[in-house]
Chains A and B, each alone.
Chain A
Amino acid sequence: MSTASASVILQLLGGLLESLKLAIVVLTLGSLGGLLLGGFGALGGRPGRYVVNVLLYFVRGIPLLIHAFAVFYVLPLFGLRLPPFTSAALALSIFASVTISEIIRGGIVSVPSSQVEAALALGFTRLKAFLLVVLPQALRFVVPPMVGQFVSLIKATSIISLLGVSELMYSGREIIERTLQGFEVMTLIWLLYTAVCLPLSAWGRWLERRLLVAGSAPIRG
Chain B
Amino acid sequence: MGSGYTLIWLPVIEAAPELSYGVLKTLEIAFLSSLSATILGLSGAIISRYGGTGGRLAGISYLELMRNSPSLVKMYFLYFGLATFGIYLSPFAAGTIALSLHNAAYMMEIFRAAIASVPDGQYQAAASLGLKSRVAFGKIIWPQALRRALPALGNNWAEIVKDTSITSALSVQEFYYAFTSTVALNMRTYEFFIVAGAVYLVLTGSVGGFVRLLERRLSAAERSSAKR
Contacts and interface: CB of A to CB of B under 8 A. Distances in A.
Interface of A: 57-58, 60-66, 69-70, 73-74, 77-79, 151, 155-156, 158-159, 161-162, 169, 172-173, 176, 180-187, 189-190, 193-194, 196-198, 201
A28 to B, nearest CB: 21
Contacts of A151: 68
Interface residues of B, number: 41
Contact of A60 (B64, B72, B76, B204): B204
B89 to A, nearest CB: 12
A151 B190 CA distance: 32
20 contacts: A58-B201, A61-B162, A61-B200, A62-B201, A65-B176, A69-B193, A74-B190, A169-B76, A173-B80, A176-B76, A181-B84, A182-B81, A182-B84, A185-B81, A186-B81, A190-B77, A193-B73, A197-B67, A197-B68, A201-B67
B118 interface: no
Contacts of A198: 64, 68
A162 B169 contact: yes
Interface stretch (B1-9, B36-44, B140-148): B1-9
Interface in B5-33: 5
Given A61-B205, A63-B200, A201-B67, A182 B169 contact: no
Contacts of A58: 197, 201
A58 to B, nearest CB: 7
A186 B76 contact: yes
A183 B69 CA distance: 16
A36 to B, nearest CB: 24
